[in-house]
Amino acid sequence: MDIPEIEIAELESRLAAGSLLLDVREDDEWATAHIDGATHVALATIPDRLSELSSDTPIYVICARGARSARAVEFLRHEKIEAINVAGGMMAWLDAKKPSISGRA
């Protein structure tokens, strides 16, 4: 399965337009830094929380570097949810000096 991806620059404009961002990292990673407005659902819990993720619009999925989010995108697309991987993940976001917040929501 081809995994569709979006670059950080394009993600920023999509988020400004109100798109959903799903962060699939672990709790400690989320607490260290995450994108304001993102929804946190750790990768291992996605099957149990699938009903919370159904959407009529694309879901952009992020992890630390892109591997876990790619697996999440593959699973979500198999479940007929339009999901798109964020290339480079949070590391690319932070490297680009984009804003983030810390702490548990």
Q: Is residue 105 part of a domain?
A: no
- Whether residue 84 contacts residue 21, with contact meaning beta carbons closer than 8 Å, is answered with no
Q: Is residue 45 part of a domain?
A: yes
- pTM across the whole model: 0.95
Residues of the chain with pLDDT below 70 are 104-105
pLDDT tens digits, 9-25: 999 999 999 999 999 99
Q: What pLDDT, on the 0 to 100 scale, is given for residue 105?
A: 54
Range of the domain at 43: 5-95
Q: Domain of 26: which CATH number? A: 3.40.250.10
Could you write out the DSSP letters of every residue in 12-66? HHHHHTT-EEEE-S-HHHHHH-B-TTPEE--GGGTGGGGGGT--SS-EEEE-SSS
Q: Is residue 103 part of a domain?
A: no
Split into its structural domains, the chain has a count of: 1
